[in-house]
Every structure is written in structure tokens, then in C-alpha cells.
Amino acid sequence: MTYHLLIQALDRMGLIHAISGVLYDFGLNIEQNNEFVDKAHNRFFMRTEFSGSIDEEMLVRAIKGRLPDVLIKLCPKSKKRVVVMVTRESHCLGDLLLRARYGELDMDIQAVISNHDRLRDLVEGFGIAYHHVSHEGLDRDVHEGRILDAVLDHDPEYLVLAKYMRILSPEFVNRFPHRIINIHHSFLPAFVGASPYRQAYDRGVKIIGATAHFVNEDLDDGPIITQGVIPINHTFSAEDMTKAGRDVEKQVLARALKLVFDDRVFIFGKKTIIFE
């Protein structure tokens, strides 16, 4: 079986030797190793992919026995259980459904949840459960409570906001720390919030982009996973920008999910460390 071992620690001599030594003692084969030191914070990051048969708790205890202060995440390589949340737009959702169907992303989409019923046929055509949880006539707390009930029924490892155009409360977000991934249709930190293409048009920008990021309590302010841009010019209307941006959004979201689901992303403060 293949595992991913993620390590964070204060940097010092001997870290790689100590960790690889434990893996050797357990008879495990290291297949890939990546390290990085953030010199500004004296912080060490390591992602190790290894194979073998282990007792996971014993391995973690052994590493902690040699390096008691390190942060450890041990992940068996497997498909991640995902719930996707959407509103009306189909382009990101459709792309994810296809990539999941044909094995381009290591995810198993458990369900799609939407506050509109518009995308039901698309989702159910892939044999995936679709939950329409309308917000009409409900305050945010009641609506979020119903969304949460639908999410928890599927026990996902991650929530993916594939153009879910409603703001989630801090209480909801804090139920899933570092487990909600959003695609924002602009190159953050520029043009936060609603109508970013209209904002970009009004500023006369020469590139437009998209940003995939983890969701935190602050609007469009979570740690950035990946971004992408395309050039435009003065002939583009706000509507033209919106159409052109859809391809970027799909690509950026898919790339971010590939990195996260392959356990290549560390969160450190408000930024990410990524081993590609």
C-alpha cells in the first residue's frame, strides 16, 4: 500500500535522517521525497511517498519518539470523499464530474448540493445524488442548517465550492477547517466578492484570472492553492470576460484539487507550501 507522510517542524540538522531512519526500521520503501525550508520562519516541510505494510499508529508513535515536536499527517493514498456545492453555473461542476468519472482526479463525488434545482439532470446523469436545498424564504442560519444536514449525511473529507455563490458563515466554515476549497473568479487578492469581472472591466485590466483557495472566516481570504490568468484587451466587455474566464476557472479548480487530493499542499499561516 502507498502512503503520504507530511511533516512540519522547526528546521534543524538531522530531520531527514531521523524520519527516513524510522521508515527504514519499519521496512518501508521511500518512492518520492520532497523537502523545503522556509528560512524566514525557520520552518521545515517534507512530503514523503512510501510503500509497504504498516500499523499506522505505531509508525506515528515511532517518529514522535525520535522527534516529539514535529507535526505529522499520515495519509493512505486513496480517493477522497467529496461533496460539491453549486448554485446555477454548470461549467466547473461538469468538468469535475467528467474528471472524476474517468479517473483524472482522485476523488469520489458523494453528492452535489445546490440552492437551485437547475443542475439536477446533469448530476443524476452521472449516477450521483443531487440535493436541492432551497434558500427561498429562509434566513441564513436555517438554510445553512439544512445544508449541513445534507453534507453530514455523506461524511465527506472535503467540500468543493464549484461556483457556490453564497457566503458561508464562520460557524459553518469552522466545522470543516482546511477542508473547504473554493474557486473564485478573479486573481485574488484583487476583486474580492461579487461581480469580479464587472470590477475588472471597470478597471480596464489586461489579464483576468481565477484563484482556488481554502475557505476561512474572511471572504475570499483563505490560503491560495493555485491561480491562472489569460490575456484580454479593451475590446472585451464584462460579459466577454465572464465567458473567457470560465475555462480558466475549470483548469485552476481541477489543478488545485489534484494537488490537495494527492496530499501535496501544506498550510502555513495564511499561505500554502506546495510540492508539485
Q: At 105, which CATH number?
A: 3.40.50.170
The answer to whether 85 and 111 have CB atoms below 8 angstroms apart is no
Q: Are 104 and 225 in the same domain?
A: yes
Provide the pLDDT confidence category of residue 164 given band limits of 50, 70 and 90. Answer: very high
pLDDT confidence of residue 193? 62
* pLDDT at res. 114: 98
**Same structural domain, 107 and 184:** yes
- CA pair distance 35, 57, nearest whole angstrom: 23
Q: Is 46 exposed, middle or buried (0-12, 13-18, 19+ CB in 10 A)?
A: buried
Active site residue 108: no
Domain count, the chain: 2
H or E, element range at 63: helix 56-66
Residue 188, pLDDT > 60, answer: no
Owning domain of residue 226 = 80-274
Closest CA to 181 of 157, 204, 211, 160: 160
Average pLDDT for 80-94: 97
Classify residue 55 by its DSSP letter: -
| 198 pLDDT tier (thresholds 50, 70, 90) | confident
Pairing of strands 158-161, 180-184: parallel
Asked whether the beta carbons of 3 and 51 are under 8 A apart, the reply is: yes
Q: What is the pLDDT of residue 189?
A: 54
From 28, 45, 76, the end of a domain falls on 76
In the predicted model, what is the mean pLDDT of residues 216-226? 87
Q: How many CB atoms lie within 10 A of CB 53?
A: 8
Measuring CA to CA, which residue among 187, 183, 5 is closest to residue 95?
183
Element (H, E) at 34: strand 29-38
Are 177 and 246 members of one domain?
Answer: yes
Mean pLDDT across 44-59: 97
Looking at residue 48, which CATH number applies to its domain?
A: 3.30.70.260
Exposure on the CB side of residue 25, measured as CA atoms within 13 A: 13
Of 95, 220, 262, 263, the active-site residue reads 220
| Summary mean pLDDT of the chain | 92
> Is the pLDDT assigned to residue 140 strictly greater than 70?
yes
Q: Are strands 158-161 and 80-86 parallel, antiparallel or unpaired?
A: parallel
Domain boundary among 30, 45, 76: 76
83, 63 contact by CB (below 8 A): no
Q: Give CA–CA dist 211/145, Å, rounded.
A: 28
Q: Convert the pLDDT of each residue in 203-216 to its tens digit.
A: 777 788 889 999 99
Helix (H) or strand (E) segment spanning residue 209: strand 207-214
Q: What number is the average pLDDT over the span 247-266?
A: 96
Which helix (H) or strand (E) element contains residue 81? Answer: strand 80-86
